[in-house]
Structure 1
């Protein structure tokens, strides 16, 4: 069974919920499974402040997760139009993977959540792609052949799946947001499998 790494940071649960729907889409592709991983919080001086093992949820990502998986789905809440510090801190530590070409040629997709409708979702998704492009990854997005892109009144972009949690911080995505997240996972898994089997 080949695996896609679903790597995310979630502060209040919205990105985690989106990650679970992306994983559902991955599982819809025969022969592919999702490997869920997260990253620890960091302090204001960019040092890890969590224990080595999370109290609940998926384990923290390790270098071998990047090596063993055939694709990557990367998720973060939006922080002023950019990814959250814990995910950026993790990515900044991947110089070894960059030198070794661990991720080169593998497909990747991105997803995010914001509290407000115009909270910087698209700039966050685009900025999350930049380090992935430096690693030589192939970006998978959402085409407008997915009808929910035209129907959604909340999250969902051609750059990746997204969710608007609102002022109350509702972690559960809307119907359109869920369908787009599932479609993103399915597209990523299908692309990754074709690339892996094609050698």
Structure 2
């Protein structure tokens, strides 16, 4: 029987979210009974159809609906655009009605992460927006506890709603020490919960 896996699913335009996903995966891999799949979604055209090739030119593979349906836990990431989800990820989520109707994500754990270019640029609103479809799917949305000292001391990203990164410029994909630690903790905690639920 294949091992349970956590799906780290994201959209990343400039690379910050992709970098966060690597740290989240690093944390999740510390729970050795759980596998990790990292997937992205393609860009969309103005008419909200996929505008990218079926295989990405670079980075991790695109996610399939089947990979989402079969995951044992989900960590969902998007840059914050005006406090909301990036259109490509929203377009992908809008296609999950069949998964919702069949209840394939019910009672599976999930968490969310984001990146934004200003301190008060809607990080927490984006994390809440990412959580809403997860609630509709009946998932168990996990928070980030204040037991983490990094959450209390961070001067950049980090929230109780999920990991975040303050990208002070378009090309700033380097995470602060606190941001990286919080990403790893988020991945580890979700993988640990998957392990506990699948015993």
Is the TM-score greater than 0.5? yes
Which residues of structure 2 form unaligned runs of 5+? none
Match of 2:92 among 86, 90, 100: 90
Shift of 1:167: 2.6
- Listed as ranges, the matches of 1:49-198 within 5 Å are 49-197=51-199
Cα shift readout 1:122-149 (whole Å, capped 9, x = no counterpart):
0000111000000000001110001100
- Which piece of structure 1 moves more, 66-75 or 91-100? 66-75
SS of corresponding position for 1:93: coil
Q: Answer yes or no: is the 8 Å Cα contact 2:167–2:173 preserved in 1.
A: yes
CA contact (8 A) 2:34 2:194 kept: no
Deviation, structure 1 residue 168: 4.8
Cα RMSD after superposing both structures: 0.9
Query: Stretches of 4+ moved more than 4 A in 1?
Result: none
Alpha-carbon distance between aligned partners in 2 of 1:173 and 1:185, rounded to the nearest angstrom:
15
Deviation at 1:60, TM superposition (A): 0.7
Structure 1 unaligned blocks of 5 or more? none
Q: Which moved more, 1:185-194 or 1:157-166?
A: 185-194
TM-score norm. by structure 1 comes to 0.97
Mapped to 2, the partners of 1:71 and 1:163 lie a distance apart of 22
Residue 6 (1) aligns with residue 1 (2): no
Per the TM alignment, residue 2 of structure 1 is displaced from its structure 2 partner at its CA by 1.9
CA contact (8 A) 1:5 1:37 kept: yes
CA-to-aligned-CA distance 1:152-171 (integer Å, 9 cap, x gap)? 00000000000001035310
Identify the range of structure 1 (115-124 vs 162-171) with the bigger mean alpha-carbon deviation.
Answer: 162-171
How many matched pairs? 197
